[in-house]
A = this chain, B = another copy of it.
């Protein structure tokens, strides 16, 4: 039996807003410690990991581990119907993932479970030379700034600055942010703007993002809840210059 109750739907909304734009189907795994999912997009470019600990929930019961296979778009369409003051209840029966919003009325949605053979992917272990924190708003600005001139974005960090930039035919854009961290290397990688945009839909998960970068290495973007009750992380393969 699995049952979880939340007083705020925003964490679910913001994380599945990003997840549903990256992968069509996921397997949510529940056990006594909480809910978890690992997924890899079809083109094997983005890996996403979500963990919501039992402590996040007002009530959480899971005596036997469950695997909940669902269509992420359907779940997102349901989550969008939550109001900020609604309590959210999640459970599962043989055929459905059941989500209930309790407010003025009780609104129950049953999303059909899907039949997927799921080899749960394991997150690649990567040893990045740099790690630093950036305000989420800086990342959002960067992709929208870059979007004027290019569909690729270079992310770069040196002793002083985190820099997002792009060269286009009609112009260049660059965003420079003084990070104030202890970094001794200068690394740079190129990424798809569109893929970064998908990840950044999770902007209400945390006000700050941890970024791990290397030269021509995947980007690791880690969002931790302030309370420590959950995290959402992404790993995005770089674009190589020869892709251009």
B74, B142, B170: the one contacting A71 at CB < 8 Å is: B170
A215 proximity list for chain B (CB < 8 A): none
A169 proximity list for chain B (CB < 8 A): 112
CA separation between A175 and B104, bound complex, in Å? 10
A25-83: which have CB < 8 Å to B? Answer: 71, 74, 77-78, 81
A145 proximity list for chain B (CB < 8 A): 81, 107, 109
Q: Does A106 contact B (CB under 8 A)?
A: yes
Return A51 CB to nearest CB of chain B, in Å.
25
- Whether B104 contacts A138 by the Cβ 8 Å rule is yes
Return A84 CB to nearest CB of chain B, in Å.
14
- Whether A112 contacts B171 by the Cβ 8 Å rule is yes
A108 proximity list for chain B (CB < 8 A): 172-176
CA separation between A139 and B176, bound complex, in Å? 42
A76-124: which have CB < 8 Å to B? Answer: 77-78, 81, 96, 104-112
A74 proximity list for chain B (CB < 8 A): 148, 170-171
A109 proximity list for chain B (CB < 8 A): 145, 148-149, 171-173
- Whether A104 contacts B170 by the Cβ 8 Å rule is no
Complex A-B, nearest 10 residue pairs according to Cβ-Cβ distance, in ascending order: A105-B177, A110-B172, A111-B171, A106-B176, A107-B175, A77-B148, A109-B173, A108-B174, A105-B175, A110-B171
A residues in contact (CB < 8 Å) with B: 71, 74, 77-78, 81, 96, 104-112, 135, 137-138, 141-142, 144-145, 148-149, 169-177
